[in-house]
């Protein structure tokens, strides 16, 4: 029950929703950058049907990210002021510590050198491709 959660451990839902919308918008920009980069790649042969479907999938990701960002912005605007999210829930649901820190920051935030993924001691901002 929200009443039992100390105020310092709660984050207003509208704030979290706005931050999620911003993250989704950032991901949308990255997705559009990928589409742009792929459009400049040249191939010896025309793309086959399967490759065309994969490329259409990237476009669908972009469209879905745009819609989800709009939806989260709408949630932020319509959320009752008393609605709150427990900070520990955000932290428990996300593997990326930096993302959790952006969505529901503590007063200290994410400290430099702190693990950015559960169980991973890499520096913040490091991306693991495989």
Q: Which of 21, 30, 45, 7 is nearest to 102 (CA)?
A: 21
> What is the Cα 3 distance to its own chain's centre?
28
Model confidence, pTM = 0.72
Q: What is the pLDDT of residues 105-124, one digit of tens each?
A: 876 443 333 334 344 444 44
**Residues 65-74, mean pLDDT to the nearest whole number:** 96
Across 67-83, average pLDDT: 95
**Percent with pLDDT over 70 in the chain:** 78
């Amino acid at each position: 029950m929200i009443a039992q959660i100390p105020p310092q451990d709660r984050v207003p839902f509208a704030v979290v929703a706005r931050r999620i919308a911003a993250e989704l918008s950032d991901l949308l920009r990255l997705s559009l950058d990928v589409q742009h980069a792929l459009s400049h790649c040249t191939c010896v042969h025309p793309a086959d049907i399967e490759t065309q479907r994969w490329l259409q999938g990237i476009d669908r990701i972009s469209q879905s990210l745009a819609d989800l960002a709009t939806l989260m912005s709408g949630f932020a605007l319509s959320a009752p002021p008393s609605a709150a999210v427990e900070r520990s829930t955000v932290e428990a649901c996300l593997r990326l510590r930096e993302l959790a820190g952006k969505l529901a920051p503590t007063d200290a935030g994410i400290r430099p050198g702190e693990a950015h993924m559960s169980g991973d001691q890499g520096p913040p901002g490091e991306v693991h491709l495989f």
